[in-house]
Amino acid sequence: MAKFKFEYIWLDGYKPEPMLRSKTKVLSLDTYDGEVDILPDWSFDGSSTQQAEGHSSDCILKPVRVYPDPVRINGFLVVCEVLNPDGTPHSSNMRATIKDDSDEFWFGFEQEYVITENGAPLGFPEEGYPKPQGPYYCSVGFGNVAGRDLVEEHLDICLDADIELTGVNAEVMLGQWEFQVLSKGAKKAGDDLTVARYLLHRTAEQYGVHIDLHPKPVKGDWNGSGMHCNFSNEKMRTTGGKRYFENICKAFGTRHAKHIAVYGSDNEQRLTGLHETQSIDKFSYGVSDRGASIRIPISTSLNWKGYLEDRRPASNACPYNVAREVVAAVKLADKPATPKRKTTAKKTPSTRGRKRKTAVKA
């Protein structure tokens, strides 16, 4: 028998955004090929993670998806849902709130983040600021980028873990980066991004730096960090049509407040109408408009087939919440319009052809 190491990963109950937690279970097995069903549930101290009281502290970790861990020998990364002792989903378990997990829905999360050291973005001088934004986006060269070694290592580890990262790039602010991950199905989209975030934080430990997911890590004339969500369903990709895409955008508009409520804390600091954002209290959509709430990519508008980009989610948003609300909005646009009921005026009985009755005096 061989020793296999399983890193059970979950989201805790801290607010306004949960933190990542994990612990290692070692199992002796003849062989293991990534099956999630044979992994046992495991308890943890919920009183230390804001998920239980001390007098009744046990919460349950239920394995739901497994990834290979490229860093460990015989290692695997295990995404877990948090359950109450009776087996029901814990109130912090946002994954369990996803009801439509059809893989016809595709998600492309663009996760922006800032690498910080001693409280400042990597590459910033000890006092003051670097030269203004302009030369940093997708840049190369000393002084224009910072943290490339960490970013490259994280990219390789994610690909080896079977997470479909489709790209990385330096972002608009110095020390700010982005990775993109493509997934099919709302739950898998949340799982993939959760593990990619976990691996990013774990890799950063080796470099002695911090990963900051705050949507506005540096105040002033600097870009914030988002988690733009590109999305499509089968009809958007194959049938499409301008009217259909516009109906989807309008459906998102009717749910704007509901989406903003779960799109990340402190997002008002980022969604100001500046720095490629729309104001948090407004909703708009437009072709190739990075200042809109929903951007219609130019490639989509050419034949009205493809995907849309929701630019509102903050970098610290819970991906399960975002995916759930996106699916709900798209399905709202898919609902057939309720036909208007015809109202028929009540007709007054006709007197035509009838003899008028005359009153007879007594």
Instruction: Note the pLDDT of residue 220.
Output: 94
346 pLDDT above the threshold of 60:
no
116 pLDDT above the threshold of 50:
yes
The structural domains of the chain, with segments of one domain joined by +, span 2-91, 106-334
Output the CA–CA distances (angstroms, integers) from residue 313 to 72, 235, 243, 267, in the order listed. 33, 24, 25, 8
Task: Give the mean model confidence (pLDDT) for residues 187-192.
Answer: 98
Q: Comparing 3 with 353, which gets the higher pLDDT?
A: 3
Q: How confident is the model at residue 299 (pLDDT cuts 50, 70, 90)?
A: very high
Instruction: Note the pLDDT of residue 340.
Output: 60
Instruction: Note the pLDDT of residue 338.
Output: 60
Q: Which residues contact 218 (CB under 8 A, 6 or more apart)?
A: 114, 121, 173
Instruction: Note the pLDDT of residue 343.
Output: 57
Instruction: Note the pLDDT of residue 334.
Output: 86
351 pLDDT above the threshold of 70:
no
Q: How confident is the model at residue 54 (pLDDT cuts 50, 70, 90)?
A: confident
In SS3 terms, 308-342 reads as EEECCCECCCCHHHHHHHHHHHHHHHHCCCCCCCC
Output the CA–CA distances (angstroms, integers) from residue 57 to 53, 54, 273, 290, in the order listed. 5, 5, 44, 46
pLDDT tens-digit series, residues 131-165: 999 999 999 999 999 999 999 999 999 999 999 99
Instruction: Note the pLDDT of residue 341.
Output: 65
Instruction: Note the pLDDT of residue 315.
Output: 98
- Give the CA radius of gyration of the chain: 26
Q: What is the percentage of the chain residues whose pLDDT exceeds 70?
A: 93
In SS3 terms, 130-150 reads as CCCCCCCCCCCCECCECCHHH
CA dist 158 and 197 (Å) reads: 10
CA dist 211 and 203 (Å) reads: 10
- Say how many C-beta atoms besides its own lie within 10 A of residue 117's C-beta: 16
Task: Give the mean model confidence (pLDDT) for residues 243-269.
Answer: 98
Task: Give the mean model confidence (pLDDT) for residues 81-107.
Answer: 97
Task: Give the mean model confidence (pLDDT) for residues 103-128.
Answer: 96
Beta bridge pairs of residue 66: 78
Work out the mean pLDDT of the chain and round it to a whole number.
94
362 pLDDT above the threshold of 80:
no
353 pLDDT above the threshold of 50:
no
Length of the chain, please?
362
226 pLDDT above the threshold of 60:
yes
128 pLDDT above the threshold of 60:
yes
Q: Comparing 203 with 342, which gets the higher pLDDT?
A: 203
Instruction: Note the pLDDT of residue 336.
Output: 72
Q: Do domains 2-91 and 106-334 have the same CATH topology?
A: no
357 pLDDT above the threshold of 80:
no
Tokens of 335: 């609902």
Strands (E), 157-216: 165-170, 176-184, 210-212
Tokens 């080796």 identify what position? 206
Is 2-91 CATH 3.40.50.300? Answer: no
281 pLDDT above the threshold of 60:
yes
Tokens 């219609």 identify what position? 296
Cis peptide before 68 (omega within 30 of 0): no
CATH architecture entry for 106-334: 2-Layer Sandwich (3.30)
- For the whole model, what pTM was predicted? 0.92
**Under 8 Å between Cβ of 124 and 130:** yes
203 pLDDT above the threshold of 80:
yes
Tokens 């407040």 identify what position? 257
348 pLDDT above the threshold of 80:
no
> Which region among 111-125, 175-189, 337-351 has the lowest average model confidence (pLDDT)?
337-351
